[in-house]
Every structure is written in C-alpha cells, then in structure tokens.
A and B are shown apart, each in its own frame.
Chain A
Amino acid sequence: MDRSSKATVVFRVGTLLVAIALAFGLISYMSNLTVSGYHPSPCYYNFSPYYFCGNVDTVPAGTFTVLDGWNPASPQQMYFFNMSSRPVGAEVYLLKTNQTTFDVWVADKSGLPLANVSLYGPQELVWFSDYVASHGQEVVGQYNVSRANVVVKYFVPDVEPLMFVVTSGNAQSSLNFTYLETNIGVMINPSLGFRVAGYLAASGAVLAVFGVVSRRKGAGRARGVPISSSASP
C-alpha cells in the first residue's frame, strides 16, 4: 500500500469516527432535551412523539421493605424502591409532595450507596448524574430535601439490583411519595453520550486532518515539488 492509499485509509477512518460521533451526539441531545423538558405531571413526556407516559404508581408510605441488617445511627424511617426490574434507560422519578425532610440516594442490594447526588435544573430536580462503577466505595450521596414537590430522578444505567433509599427523621405518616417510571428503554445517559461523542469526534477530526495532510505531502513528493510549496488540494 503506497503513501497516498494509507493517507486515504486514515482519512476515511477519521470521517467514519466523526459520523459515529454525530450519531452519539444526536441521540444524547435528544435524551438531554427530554431531561430538560421535564414537567412534573404524570404525562410529562407528551410533548415528544417518541416518549410516552410511563407507569404512574403512587406508593403509600410505610409499605416498603425495610432492608435487613441496616442499622442507622439515628432512628430513621427508611423506604426502598426496588429498581432491579427496571429496563436500561428507564428513568425513575420520585416525587415528594410534602414538606418533610428526607435524605435519598441510590443503593445496591446491600444498601450501600452507588452514586453522588446533585441538584439538576430549575425544577429542583435531583439528578443522580452518573453511575459509579465502584459499588459501595463511593461517598454517601445524600441530598437533604426539605422542600415540597421535589423530584428525585435516576437514569437506570444497567440491569442490576438497584434501589432508591429514602430516609426520613420524621414520622412516616407525613411522607407521601409518588413513584413514576418512564418506559423510555432506548436512551443513553446524556452525559455519557456527549462524552463518547466528544472523544470520537476529536479523534476522528485529528485522523481526518492527518490523512489530508499526508495525502497532500504524498502528492507533492510524487510531483517532485517541495513539501512546503505543495499547498494545492
């Protein structure tokens, strides 16, 4: 394979990577639109033809399974929302509809926290941004929520036994959660998707430019023209 052919291959690999990056970018953008366009109502996805209303399930307080062996320092009421059967890409929401203070995080089967929690968006959305691979070793991701109509949202990254853990220092009778789940199923976590798209686009652009430059150099050499003056395309 001569220099020109090698340069062409490098250029095409670069453009291929950019095309794949575009796909990731587009789908991530769509996913992000959904997240940004959140409106707290049971049918908050009806603005988009692709997504549809998920199951709406009101879970009364006091009906959740208490995890065995959990020994909190203070006498707290704990609630577990089992997400083990949630599809990948589903988004799980927890709407808190009263003023009770509570802490919430995502845990694995043993109750150990998996992800940090951060405030997301103007709608007081609590967004468990990224999946943490090192299960149980991450810092406890607690978010003290004392306002009403706060939504906890979690993007299910994988099919694994995961749970919401909610603790409250107050009486459970005052807690009232609405549990929502969307059946999106085929999305990518926007932050992950944008990251992948960025890496692919950057490496693809570098390869494409490298391919073009070496093809020009090759063409210049073939014509016997010094490389520095071979500027024609």
Chain B
Amino acid sequence: MSLRGEPKKRRGSAFTELLSIYLHLDHRLPVLEASAFLLFSGVLLFSSVSSGDTYSAFSYMAGPAGLSLTSLILVVLILKNLASGWGNDFEKGTMQTFLTYPLSRGKAFLARLVSSLLVPLGLLTLAQFSVVFLIAPGFALAHFGSLLLGYLAALTTPLLVAAVVVLSVLWAKSGGVPFAIGLVVYFMMLIFTAFLLSIGYNGGYPNLVWMVFFLNPVYAFSSYFGNPAGWGLGAPVPTYVQAVGLLAGNLLLSLALLVVGALLFVKRTEA
C-alpha cells in the first residue's frame, strides 16, 4: 500500500470511530428508544389528515405554524445533544481528547453534527413518512410533494435553533447558556412570529409579513394555500414559487450559519 493511501484509510476509520463515540454519548440506551417511541406516538396521535387536499397534506407534516409535538421533541433532542453534550465537552475538556484523533477539524465537526442532528432528523423522517404511507398510502402518493414541503417547512425552526446553538456553544464553550439560548430562540420563533404576523396583517406592514414568511415559511404556505390563520384582509399572499423560495432561503440561512459554525470550530480548536 502506498504511503499516500495509508493516512487516508486511517482518517476514514478515525471518523467512524469518533462518530461511534458521539453516537454512544448522544444516544445512550434508553434515549434513542424513548425518542423513537415519542416521535411515532406523536405522529400517530397528533398529525391528522383532515381532508384530501394539498393543504391537508402540507399541514399534516408542518402542523400549525410549525408547532407540533414532533417538532418540540426534535428541538429537545437537539438541545440535549448539542448544547448539553457538545457544550459540556468544551466545558469539561473532553473536547481536547476528541481532537487528538487523526482527523481534520472539519470532519470532527461533521461527526458531531451527524450524531447530534442528523440521527434525530432521520428518526423524525422515518416516523413522519412511514406513518402517513401506512395509514393513507393513496393520499401520501397523490400529495407527496406537499408532504415534503410541509416536512421541510416544519424543519426550518428546529434547524435554525440548531445553528444558533452551535454558534453559541462555540462562543460560550459551555452547555448551560447555549441550552437557554436555544430554548429562547425556539419559543421566540414560534410565539413572536405569530405576534409579528398579526401586527403586520392588521397594522398594514407588508414588509413585516414578508419577514415573518421568511422566518417561518409555514405561514407563507398557509397563506398560499388560502388559510392565512384568519388574519387581516388585503395582506400579501405569496405565490407558490415565492413560498418555495422563502423556504429555500430559510434552509440556506441555517446551512450558512452551520458552515460559519464549522469555520469557527476549525479556527478556535486550531488556535
């Protein structure tokens, strides 16, 4: 084997090894199972298909304003894994041990993200889509696009929370403060966007409405589907392309914040 090939192989196994350590830390025996139980129960109990139209498919996944039990469970898992888990690694110094692995900083960050964020996301995806395909296969096939949009729209807030928590962990290098920040951001996103939307509709501030549409695309789609939560008349109604654009913009914002987090992680741990 060539000398060039050897370190590559070792790097690959180091990534798997670090990932398995993170997976073990994040998802100890009852945690993953309890999460799966709650997510599947939540989907079965609280996600309803109210009728056979596309809005019903969208709201099945998104819930009202993106607020659903599954979304809350996802945020709790993200906060537990990223804020408490990762933040405590910084606080207690175990991060230094993880950084001794023959692995680039970017890949170490990726391993943490896969374990803390992508595994809960995968579980949520499995719960949402398997249940709807089980209870209403014809409906799910006919409205797969709307289901997917609803799913992505519901993910915007948890993903934004995850990105903010990553940045705040890197800033505070502890677990407690990022946990509080994440919790505040989550509830602010849900409660204050509703207030802002109300002000925007009733006070005649279309720009405010558009801002809320961007921050929480569930509102944009609700407005597009003709159910703008009962607020004012004459308010801006996005087209389908605009709503999808707002959703994509929001997801890109979260992605950009996570990339910034990765760069910060590399910079801070190499220093």
Contacts and interface: CB of A to CB of B under 8 A. Distances in A.
Nearest to A19: B33
Given A19-B33, A23-B37, A159 B44 contact: no
B139 A27 contact: no
B138 A19 contact: no
Interface string A146-178: 000000000001111000000000000000000
A159 B137 CA distance: 9
B226 to A, nearest CB: 17
A53 interface: no
B46 interface: yes
Most buried by B among A15, A18, A19, A185: A19
Interface in B40-65: 40-41, 44-52, 56
Interface stretch (A40-48, A64-72, A84-92): A84-92
Interface residues of B, number: 30
Given A87-B51, A159-B52, A19 B44 contact: no
B3 interface: no
Nearest to A159: B52
A159 B51 contact: yes
A15 B29 CA distance: 9
A19 B41 CA distance: 10
Nearest to B39: A23
Interface string B214-244: 0000000000000000000000000000000
B135 A88 contact: yes
A18 B29 CA distance: 13
B37 A192 contact: no
Binding site secondary structure of chain B: helix
A88 B45 contact: no
Contact of B47 (A20, A26, A157, A186): A186
A87 B37 contact: no
A23 B136 contact: no
A10 to B, nearest CB: 14
B94 interface: no
A1 B16 contact: yes
B23 to A, nearest CB: 9
Contacts of A5: 20
B257 interface: no
Contacts of B41: 23, 26-27
Given A89-B135, A159-B139, A27 B44 contact: yes
A27 B34 CA distance: 15
Interface string B249-260: 000000000000
B48 A89 contact: yes
B37 A159 contact: no
Interface string A68-101: 0000000000000000110111000000000000
A87 B135 CA distance: 11
Interface residues of A, number: 29
Interface in A8-67: 12, 15-16, 18-20, 22-24, 26-27
Contact of B48 (A19, A22, A185): A185
Interface in B1-46: 16, 20, 27, 29, 32-34, 36-41, 44-46
B44 A188 contact: yes
A109 to B, nearest CB: 13
B271 interface: no
Interface in B134-152: 134-139
Most buried by B among A5, A20, A189: A20
A19 B39 CA distance: 10
Contacts of B36: 16, 19-20, 23
A107 to B, nearest CB: 16
Given A1-B16, A87-B48, A186-B47, A158 B138 contact: yes
A206 interface: no
Nearest to B13: A1
Given A27-B44, A185-B48, A192-B135, 11 more contacts: A12-B27, A15-B32, A15-B33, A18-B33, A19-B37, A20-B40, A23-B37, A23-B44, A27-B41, A159-B51, A188-B131
16 contacts: A1-B20, A15-B33, A20-B36, A20-B40, A23-B37, A27-B45, A85-B52, A88-B139, A89-B48, A157-B135, A158-B137, A158-B139, A159-B52, A160-B138, A185-B49, A186-B44
Interface of B: 16, 20, 27, 29, 32-34, 36-41, 44-52, 56, 131, 134-139
